[in-house]
Amino acid sequence: MRDFERSAMSLTFKLNDGAQIPWLGFGTGTALFNKDSTEAVKVAIQNGVTHLDGAQLYRNEESLGQGIKDSGVPREKLFVTTKLAETPSAPTIKATLKESLKKLGLDYVDLFLIHSPVVALREGKLKQWWKEMEEIKKEGLAKSIGVSNFTVEHLQIILEDATVVPAVNQIELHPYVWGVNSKVYSFCKDKSIVIESYGGLSPIVRAPGGPVDTVLASAAERLSKESGTTVSLGQVLSKWLIQKDVVVVTTSSKVSRIKEALLTASLPDLTVDEISAIETEGSKVHKRFFMKHAFNE
């Protein structure tokens, strides 16, 4: 049973620590990597986005913070995420987060993630890193803590000694990685770890012409007729993720795209057959576009 609250423009999922995370996160990586994200973040917030997804690795935390400030929306109405770089910039993880908070102009983040397990695993520090993350949560510098780009094996390592189960695992998730990522998806569901997807629109943005296109088009046509509005292929992909209880992290500089994305939650649901077809067709090919080294690809 999905644990969420739905309205015309909002949808939240409940994390295992009791916090609520908005279903749509505005990402400041990829297109905004190492760029000034101030205006894009401000526009996103002013058009209804409340969840901002940043990272130390993106090198734009200052502008993310400025965009938040310029939006005029009170801090308590926003959900802000940042992530620990693969190679931390300070001796302790807490020190790196304090650097991030200074850049963001915030006293705390709602969610702090280990961006990748690769370096910590290689150095035998994965469990130590997670213990430091638990201390950060205890001190209130991050309301919730989690991970990103973790496989089942990575999660099993930290869970051996964890006193706090990660609230989130943010991974690349779309139909063309469903065949391999369904394993970590199922593991996280069993552990009440919410999955966040990035790169969710990759089948139409980075790999058009693939086997899933026909299914998406058919579903978009049905939903358009049923809802009385034009439904895009991207909305179908996001709807699939929502119905898998997955948070969607995406980016757009266009107001029309932001509004379109926000409306996705209130569209009619995909049918069981449509969901099955998306996963069946998606599993016919494997295309991962990000963080291949974390998944040994």
Distance CA 194, CA 245 (A): 8
Please, what sign has the CA dihedral across residues 68, 79, 158, 117?
Answer: negative
Known catalytic residue at 185: no
Nearest to 219 by CA among 139, 285, 279: 279
Burial of 225 (0-12, 13-18, 19+ CB in 10 A): exposed
Q: In what order do the strands lie in the sheet with 11-14?
A: 4-6, 11-14, 20-22
Is 115 known to sit in a ligand binding site?
Answer: yes
Q: Which of 58, 176, 185, 198 is catalytic?
A: 58
> Which residues contribute to the annotated binding site?
115
Q: Tell me the binding residues for substrate.
A: 115
Q: Which residues are catalytic?
A: 58
